[in-house]
Structure formats: structure tokens, C-alpha cells
Chain A
Amino acid sequence: GAGVSQSPSNKVTEKGKDVELRCDPISGHTALYWYRQSLGQGLEFLIYFQGNSAPDKSGLPSDRFSAERTGGSVSTLTIQRTQQEDSAVYLCASSYWTGGLGTEAFFGQGTRLTVV
């Protein structure tokens, strides 16, 4: 596709339910990032995938959060037993790396998650 695509664009869920957020990176991009942004706040890093390397999960706030990236392309961020404090915009970005140098990261429009 032309850019990073995220789905759904909006998601309302009940507290305690599980949700899955999807990210389709730009074709050929080897790096994929997940961030979240609470209302009026800055971007908080969650997890980073680069090629076949083990992902950097250092930003995941709790064990209710997990992410996977299948076939080096599409990624799914899963939040189990959602809490109201999980309400935020979840942003995905991708970039291309070769020879140790990378392009800039391109961001999707985000998924707005509201936990009620």
C-alpha cells in the first residue's frame, strides 16, 4: 500500500474484554514500531520489531499487552482484559533498513481505543 495502514480506526470495548489492533506496514519495510498516545500526552513507546531479531518489548506496560509480527509484515497488538487506563490512540510506524542505515519512520493514522 501507499502508507502504513491501521485497523480499526476506532474501537470501543467494554472493560475486561480483549482487543486486537492491526498494523499493515509499508511493503518491504523491515522495522515496525508500536506507540500509544493518551489524550493530551506524548508518544509512549511500546514495542519494536526489526527483521528476524527478537522484538524489543521494553515499553509494554504490563503482561496484558502483547504483539506479534507474522511473516515480517503485518503486526497485531493484543490487549487482554482491557482497563479504562488503556484508552488511548495506538500508533504504528514502519521503516526500511539496509546496510545498517534506515529511512525515516512512517506512521499510520492510529487506532483510537476507548474502554468503557
Chain B
Amino acid sequence: DAKTTQPTSMDCAEGRAANLPCNHSTISGNEYVYWYRQIHSQGPQYIIHGLKNNETNEMASLIITEDRKSSTLILPHATLRDTAVYYCIVRVNNAGNMLTFGGGTRLMVKP
């Protein structure tokens, strides 16, 4: 699986949009971009994933650049409960592939 690079930490004001970047310059054509988050003392939680088109669900939006070498996870109105470590993972979506977690970005939402 391609390696990802994320900032170690970010701050965001409550109510503002949180934009979390991820670089995956070596991504291959059949690899998807996945985002998970881990709130303190809990198991990781799936947020969203995409291949090349932008995606949106009730939790977040995923913007993937046209060359697919980077992506941004957007939490449109961050709340204190969004404080967590956010993991960007790229992987081939097939049955032989596990998730490989990197260091992630520690997002701190501040009042």
C-alpha cells in the first residue's frame, strides 16, 4: 500500500471547518483513500473513503485532487467531540488487504 504523510497535529476553533490534509504521492490507480479517526480510549471509527471523485456523507467531505496525490478531509462544523487522531490510509480495496495505520493527525478542537 502507498505511504501517506499527514501533519502531526492541528488546532481548529469550535464551529469552524476543520481541513485535514494528506499526501499520498505514490498512490496507484487501484488504491482508495480511507479516513478513520480515533477518539481517546475508543477503537478507530470509519469516516469516509473514495477513489477519485469527491465524496460526502453525514460526517465529512473528502476532496481528492485530480492527480490523486493528495486529499483533504473536511469536517464542516467542528465540535469539541471531533477532537481525535485522524488517520489517512490508502489501500487496494480487495479481500487480501488489511488497513495499515500511520501516525495520523491529532486534531484539537478548541472552544
Contacts and interface: CB of A to CB of B under 8 A. Distances in A.
Interface of A: 4, 30-31, 33, 35, 42-43, 45, 48, 50-51, 53, 56, 91, 93, 97, 100-102, 104-110
Contact of A110 (B43, B100, B102): B43
B34 interface: yes
B9 to A, nearest CB: 13
B45 interface: yes
A42 B99 contact: no
A107 B44 contact: yes
A42 B42 contact: no
Interface of B: 34, 38, 42-46, 49, 93-96, 98-104
Contacts of A91: 43-44
A100 B45 CA distance: 22
Contacts of B43: 4, 91, 93, 107-110
A31 B95 contact: yes
Contact of A104 (B46, B96, B104): B46
Going nearest first, the 7 A-B pairs with the smallest beta carbon separation are A107-B43, A104-B46, A43-B101, A48-B98, A97-B95, A107-B44, A50-B95
B93 A33 contact: no
Max chain A Cβ within 10 angstroms of own Cβ: one of B43, B49, B104: B43
Given A109-B43, A110-B43, A51 B34 contact: no
Nearest to A103: B46
Nearest to B34: A104
Contacts of A53: 95-96
